[in-house]
Structure 1
Amino acid sequence: MNRLCVQRPRTWEDFLAERDEDNHAEWVDGQVILMSLASSDHQLLKVFPVRVLEHYLERHPQGLILDVPFLMRLPTRPSGREPDILFIAQECVGLLQPSFLDGAADLVVEIISPESDERDRGEKFIELFWAF
């Protein structure tokens, strides 16, 4: 289950410095939100769109695909989210940093789980909508 850790506000730089590859976390309004591990159903659902996109890009190299754990930093809230799948068009590859995408991806895919429905269809959708 996802939970908000009560803590002192963290800067984006603090969050990146403290981030651990073994823990999935997002950064929203200076707070670190620990994310639960994905279920097997979630992982199996993610495989199909990743394979379709990779297959397409093999024939039409127009960008790249990344999946979790990889952060997408949006200035609108501000937030650093971990979408399930990100497509970055070739002309936007310059936004790619070693551990995050500094801006909105050209395509974001979220696998909706019952426990993440409100966050994924609400907060995350609105943040990405206002990023454009």
Structure 2
Amino acid sequence: MGVSLAELAVGRERYTYEDYCRLPEGSPYQLIGGELVMTPSPTPYHQMVSMKLELKMAGFVLDKGLGIVLHAPLDVYLDDTETYQPDIIFISNEKLPIIEEKRINGAPDLVAEILSPSTGYYDLRSKYKVYEKKGVREYWIVDPQHKSVQVFCRQEGKFVLDQEAEQQGTVKSRVIVGFEVQVESIF
């Protein structure tokens, strides 16, 4: 049984994964930089964009036997003050052991975040830095408002903008070899 956020907040400046786990199941929070950040339900358009990208990616990955594609809500534990629920993740066969009963324990190979007004700041700043530091190999930032996709690849410990397409064009994954998507097909 979970506790209320008010009960957790007593005497707290920073929260840990242990605190996060005490919230009621299904609570709309992510643990970002030791703060419990409320993430409201996504819009229908956000979900349509996410679903289109996930179906394309998952179909390719399953067909080629490369690993697994999963989607939010699913906890990705990166350290004691960073537990996120990315929109879409890819985990290669080699990293499948990071999948635990209640969470993903460690950095997925690829993370895709669909920007929204309520979470965009975190996706572009805080989470970007943590994904980079914790070893996510490829980070896709999908912007439904501008109908754009940016693909960042990790090189020498830092994300580098590898590709970008707005309105139309193709972006390719370096991590999921052979996977590409026409940007206009997901918006």
TM-score bin (small chain): 0.7 to 0.9
Q: Which has the higher contact order (CA 8 A, sep 6+)?
A: 1
The structural deviation recorded for 1:39 is 0.6
Aligned residues: 127
**Separation (CA, whole Å) in 2 of partners of 1:82 and 1:56:** 22
| Contiguous gaps of at least 5 residues in structure 1 | none
For residue 106 of structure 1, the aligned residue among 106, 109, 113 is 109
Match of residue 42 from structure 2 = 38
Structure 2 unaligned regions, length at least 5: 136-187
Q: Which has the higher helix share?
A: 1
Return the TM-score normalized by structure 2: 0.61
Match for residue 119 of structure 1?
122
AA partner of residue 35 (structure 1): T
* Contact 2:32–2:126 (8 Å) recurs in 1: no
**Computing the radius of gyration over CA atoms, which structure comes out larger, 1 or 2?**
2
Superposed counterparts of 1:1-132, under 5 Å: 7=9, 8=12, 9-21=14-26, 23-75=27-79, 78-132=81-135
CA distance in 2, matches of 1:20, 1:11: 16
Most deviating of 94-103 and 25-34: 25-34
1:51 deviates by 0.7
Q: 2:129 and 2:73 mapped to 1: Cα distance?
A: 21
Q: What TM-score results when the alignment is normalised by the length of structure 1?
A: 0.84
Identity %: 23
Change beyond 3 A, Cα 1:123–1:11: closer
Give the CA RMSD over aligned residues.
2.2
More strand by share: 2
